[in-house]
Chains A and B, each alone.
Chain A
Amino acid sequence: MDYSLLSSILHAILVASTPLVFAGLGALIQERAGVLNLGIEGLMIVGALAGFATALAGYPLLVSVIAAALAGSALAAIFALLVLRLYANPVATGLALTLFGLGLSALAGAQYVGQAAPQVSVWTIPLLSQLPVVGHALFSHDPLVYLSILMAALLWWFLKKTRAGLILRAVGENHASAHSLGFSVMGIRFLAIAAGGALAGIGGSYLTLVQTPLFVEGMTAGRGWIALALVVFASWRPFRVIAGAYLFGSVTILQLHSQAFGISIPAQWLSMLPYLVTIMALVMISARGEKGLAAPGSLGKIFRVSR
C-alpha cells in the first residue's frame, strides 16, 4: 500500500469520526451529571439542520456552528424541563426526544432538501502538515476536527481539575449527598443537559457542514445511538471517547476500502462490523465488573427533593 493512500484513509477516518466525538462528549457530560439522555440522535439532527440552514443563509462557519449548538441546547432544554421539573421517565422522554427531533427536522428541513452548503475551508497547520503520511492525515483538516479534540481536552480538564467539575461529578455520583451539601442538583443537571445538547448539535452540524454539505431527512442515520454506546465504551472518560470514536470510524472506512480492494466479504457483514465491534467492546468492559464499568452512581435515577 502506498503512503498517500494510507494518509488518505487516516484523513477520512478522522472526518468520519468527528461527529461521533462531539456527540459522545455531549452524552458524556450529561451522564457524568447523572442524566441518561437517549435523545442524542434527535439533538444531532436538529443541530444538523440549524447549522445547515445558517450556512445556506450565507453566514460563516463559526455562526453556523453556534446556531447548531443553540438548537441542540434548546431541544435539550425541553428534555431537561420534562425530566427535571415534571419528573417524566427519562428513558421514555429520551426516546421521544429522538423521534421528535427527527420529525421536527424533517418538517422544518423540507425546504432545504436538494441544496448544497458552501464548502468549509481547511486549516492547514504549518510545518506539521509537511510531515510524511501523518501530515496530510492529521494536520490538514477543517477547524471542527481540531475543535473536537480541544473539546475533549477541555472537558477532561473541567471534570478533573476544576471545582465546578467536581460538583458536577458529585451530583452524578450521589445526588442526595450533593443536595445535602447545598448544591442545586436541578440547576447543575440543567446546565449539563444544555451543554450536552450543544455538543450533540455541533456533532450533527458536522455532517451537514463538512462531511456531506447537504441536508436530508434522517441523515444522522443512527449516529446518536453509537455516541451513547461510545460513552459506555469509554467508561465515561473524555479521551477514551475520542479513542472509541476513531476506532468506530476506522472500521467504517476500512470496510469501504476493503470492498474497493475487492476483498470478498459480504457487504452486509462489513456494514455490521462497526456495530459488532461496539458490542464486543461493551462486553469486554462489562466483564471487568462494576469497577471497570465505572458508571456514575446516580445515572438515570430520578431526583426529588423530599418535602
Chain B
Amino acid sequence: MRGLLLKALAVSAAVLLAACSDSEQTASNAPEKSADKVKAGFIYVGPVSDGGWTYEHNQGRLAVEEAFGDKVETTFVESVSEGPDAERVLSQMANDGADIIFTTSFGFMNPTIKVAEQFPNVKFEHATGFKRADNVAIYSSRFYEGRHVLGLVAGKMTKTNTVGYIASFPIPEVVRGINAAYLAAKSVNPEVQFKVIWVSSWFDPGKEADAAKALIDQGADILMQHTDSPAAMQIAEQRGIYAFGQASDMAAFGPTAQLTAIIDDWAPYYIERVGAMLDGTWQSTDTWGGFNTGMVALAPYGQAVPDDVRQLAEEARVAISEGRLHPFTGPINKQDGSAWLAAGETADDGTLLGMNFYVEGIEGSLPSSN
C-alpha cells in the first residue's frame, strides 16, 4: 500500500516537473543573461493613499505586477523620511534580495548613492535627482509639457483673463511650470494675466484652500496648482469656476470644475525598467521623459472644455510628443526684458533644469529660493 502511494507521488511529481520545464521552454526566448524572476522594491516618501505623488508611484508598481505576473515580486515601504532612515530601509530591502530598488523622492538621492556602493549587484533607480552611478539610474518627467497644454486651455477658457496659480516653493521645477503655462496661455490670449500665490508648502490643504479663495476673489476664474492636495479643486467646484488637477486625476473632487489634470504616469517607465532586468539589458541611464514616453499624461477633458479648445490642446500634445513643438521656443525674454531665447531657438535642458527666472509678462517677483 505504502509503496503504491510513493509511486503515485513520484509519478505526479515527474508530471509536474515536466509541465514546469515545458512552460519554461516556451517563455525563455530572451537573451542569455536573463533573470527568471525579478524582485523589485519601492520606497515612498508619503503614504500610498496621498492621492497624488506617492499614489501614482504605487500605481506604477501595481502596473509592473500586472505586466509581468509571477515573474516579478514587488515590495514597498511607505512614509519613509528623507535621511538616515531611508538608508536603513534601503539596506534592508537589498539584504532581503531585491534586484532593483526605486527610490521615489528627491531627498532619497544621497542615501541611494551610499547604499548602492555597498550593494554593487543591486540596481537602483532614483527619481528627480541628479547623481548617477554604474548601478544607479535616474529618472524624472517633463511636467512642463503638460503645463503647456494646460496653459492653452486656460488661455482659451478664461473670461476674466485672469488665471490663478497656487505655487509651493520657488524651485526650478515649479518656476518652469509657471513659465510654460503662461507662455502657452499668452500665445492664444494676449490679454491673459497670471496671479501667483506661493503657499510655502507642498501640502497644507487649509492654506491651499485659502489661497484658492483669495485668487478667485481677485478675479481668477481658472486655477492651476503646483501643490499636492485637491483642496483648490474642491473650492473651484464650490465657487463654480474651473481648475486643473495636479499629479493625479482629481475629477472626484471637482466633477464639473476639472478641465483636465497632469497625471504622472510612472507605469510605462517602471515596466520598461523591470523588463530590462528580466531580459538582462538594464543599464544606468538618465531619463527625462515627457508625453513621448507616456510618463506625462493628461486626464480626460472635462465637460466644460469646448470642442475647438479640445482640438487645440490635443494638437499641441501630439506635436510635443512627436518633437515638432517645444514649449520653450523663442523669441522669449526674461521678466526684466533681457533676451533669453532668439526666434526659433529652443531651451536646452540645462537651463530648464536650473530655471530661476520668470519670463517676460508675468507680474510679481519670484521669491528667492535661498
Instruction: Give B38-56 as 1s and 0s: 1 = Cβ < 8 Å from A's Cβ atoms.
Output: 0000000001011100010
Pick out which of these stretches binds chain B: A66-74, A112-120, A178-186, A292-300.
A112-120
A259-B197, A262-B363 known; A8-B231 Cβ under 8 A: no
Contact A110–B49 (Cβ < 8 Å): yes
Instruction: Give A251-288 as 1s and 0s: 1 = Cβ < 8 Å from B's Cβ atoms.
Output: 01100110111111011100100000000000000000
Contact A5–B200 (Cβ < 8 Å): no
A140 CB to nearest chain B CB (Å): 14
> Contact check: which of A115, A256, A263, A266 meets B210 at CB < 8 Å?
A256
A22 CB to nearest chain B CB (Å): 14
Contact B203–A256 (Cβ < 8 Å): no
B21 within 8 A of partner (CB): no
Chain A CB within 10 Å — which of B47, B206, B211, B231 has the most? B206
Pick out which of these stretches binds chain B: A23-31, A125-133, A205-213.
A205-213
Chain A residues within 8 Å of B253, by CB: 116, 214
> Contact check: which of B49, B50, B200 meets A268 at CB < 8 Å?
B200
CA distance A119 to B367 in the complex (A): 35
Contact B195–A262 (Cβ < 8 Å): yes
A5-B217, A5-B218, A267-B200 known; A214-B234 Cβ under 8 A: yes
Chain B residues within 8 Å of A219, by CB: 204-206
A305 within 8 A of partner (CB): no
CA distance A18 to B187 in the complex (A): 43
- Nearest opposing residue in chain B for A257, CB measure: B214
Counting from the closest, the 7 A-B pairs by CB-CB distance are: A267-B198, A8-B217, A114-B51, A256-B214, A262-B364, A264-B365, A267-B367
CA distance A260 to B164 in the complex (A): 8
CA distance A5 to B195 in the complex (A): 15
A96 within 8 A of partner (CB): no
A39 CB to nearest chain B CB (Å): 20
Chain A CB within 10 Å — which of B170, B205, B208, B364 has the most? B205
A153 CB to nearest chain B CB (Å): 26
Chain B residues within 8 Å of A263, by CB: 364
Chain A residues within 8 Å of B50, by CB: 113-114, 216
Instruction: Give B283-296 as 1s and 0s: 1 = Cβ < 8 Å from A's Cβ atoms.
Output: 00000000000000
Chain A residues within 8 Å of B218, by CB: 5, 257, 260-261
CA distance A252 to B213 in the complex (A): 12
> Contact check: which of A113, A223, A267 meets B47 at CB < 8 Å?
A113
Chain B residues within 8 Å of A207, by CB: 206
- Nearest opposing residue in chain B for A223, CB measure: B206
Chain B residues within 8 Å of A119, by CB: 238
CA distance A259 to B55 in the complex (A): 31
CA distance A113 to B55 in the complex (A): 11
Contact A12–B197 (Cβ < 8 Å): no
Cβ contacts A to B, 10 pairs, < 8 Å: A9-B214, A115-B252, A116-B253, A216-B229, A253-B210, A256-B210, A261-B218, A264-B364, A267-B367, A268-B367
A86 within 8 A of partner (CB): no
B71 within 8 A of partner (CB): no
B88 within 8 A of partner (CB): no
Interface residues of B (CB under 8 A from A): 47, 49-51, 55, 164, 170, 195-201, 203-211, 213-215, 217-218, 220, 229-231, 234-235, 238, 252-253, 363-365, 367-368
CA distance A40 to B154 in the complex (A): 42
CA distance A149 to B261 in the complex (A): 40
Besides A211-B209, A267-B199, 19 other A-B contacts (C-beta < 8 A): A5-B217, A8-B213, A8-B217, A9-B217, A106-B47, A110-B49, A116-B230, A212-B231, A214-B205, A214-B230, A216-B50, A216-B203, A256-B197, A257-B217, A260-B164, A260-B218, A263-B364, A264-B364, A264-B365
CA distance A268 to B369 in the complex (A): 9
Chain B residues within 8 Å of A5, by CB: 217-218
A112 CB to nearest chain B CB (Å): 9
- Nearest opposing residue in chain A for B208, CB measure: A212
CA distance A268 to B214 in the complex (A): 18
Contact B364–A259 (Cβ < 8 Å): yes
A127 CB to nearest chain B CB (Å): 25
CA distance A63 to B229 in the complex (A): 27
CA distance A228 to B198 in the complex (A): 27
Chain A residues within 8 Å of B229, by CB: 212, 214, 216
- Nearest opposing residue in chain A for B232, CB measure: A212
CA distance A303 to B49 in the complex (A): 45
Chain A residues within 8 Å of B235, by CB: 212
Chain B residues within 8 Å of A271, by CB: 199-200
CA distance A216 to B317 in the complex (A): 33
CA distance A264 to B365 in the complex (A): 6
Contact B206–A260 (Cβ < 8 Å): no
Chain A residues within 8 Å of B234, by CB: 116, 212-214
CA distance A67 to B50 in the complex (A): 25
A221 within 8 A of partner (CB): yes
- Nearest opposing residue in chain A for B368, CB measure: A266
A168 within 8 A of partner (CB): no
CA distance A271 to B206 in the complex (A): 13
CA distance A223 to B198 in the complex (A): 19
Contact B200–A256 (Cβ < 8 Å): no
Contact B367–A266 (Cβ < 8 Å): yes
A16 within 8 A of partner (CB): yes
CA distance A113 to B211 in the complex (A): 21
- Nearest opposing residue in chain A for B50, CB measure: A113
- Nearest opposing residue in chain B for A267, CB measure: B198
A113-B49, A212-B234, A256-B211 known; A12-B205 Cβ under 8 A: no
Chain B residues within 8 Å of A262, by CB: 195, 363-364
